[in-house]
Amino acid sequence: MKIVWFRIDDRFVHGQVTVAWTKISNANTIWVVNDSIAKNPVLKQLQISLAPPGTTVEVFTVDDAIKKLQEETNASDNKRVLLIVSNPIDALKLIEAGAKVEFINVGQMAWKRGREKIDKTVSVTPEEAAACKKIAEMGVKLLYQQLPDFPPKPEDFIEKLKKKGLI
């Protein structure tokens, strides 16, 4: 098993974005890592049913994904994983548990009360901003890129958080 793409996107498996990211990354498996979805049979089945052709979707709680990472990271299978979480806090937990990635593709984190808008489709809580800072300190880049057709924003995501006074 190899993580070929790590994305933060609170929409998880959905339409052309996931199909496009799956194609760009050459992933054959999508891991949806989210406690709420994993514990809800209807939402879990929905995510599985949205798999692009030729792709498997697996849904895990954060703890189960950590166990799976530790079991499969050195497996010699051909599993190429596009890993999707909804927020930087869960991303940090996975990286601390051994997920090996050079960068995280930051997609959508919708605005809700208590979140600060960072870009058109990205908002964070203070705790999420702190998780981003810690991820960056671990040497993992955070690149905001909504769609594969658009290049990543030239400004580092961490710089955006600093300009907003969040870190």
Active site residues: 14
pLDDT-based confidence at residue 149 (cuts at 50, 70, 90): confident
CATH of residue 148: 3.40.35.10
Question: Under a CB-based contact definition with an 8 Å cutoff, are residues 98 and 2 in contact?
Answer: no
Q: What is the residue range of 8's domain?
A: 2-163
Helix axis angle, 88-96 to 126-137, nearest 10°:
30
Per-residue pLDDT reduced to its tens digit, 65-108: 999 998 886 676 889 999 999 999 999 999 999 999 999 999 99
Per-residue pLDDT reduced to its tens digit, 103-143: 999 999 999 999 999 988 899 999 999 999 999 999 999 99
Per-residue pLDDT reduced to its tens digit, 35-54: 999 999 999 999 999 999 89
Q: How many domains are there within the chain?
A: 1
- In SS3 terms, the chain reads as CEEEEEEECCCCCCHHHHHHHHHHHCCCEEEEECHHHHCCHHHHHHHHHCCCCCCEEEEECHHHHHHHHHHHCCCCCCCEEEEEECCHHHHHHHHHCCCCCCEEEECCECCCCCCEEEECCEEECHHHHHHHHHHHHCCCEEEECCCCCCCCCCCCHHHHHHHCCCC
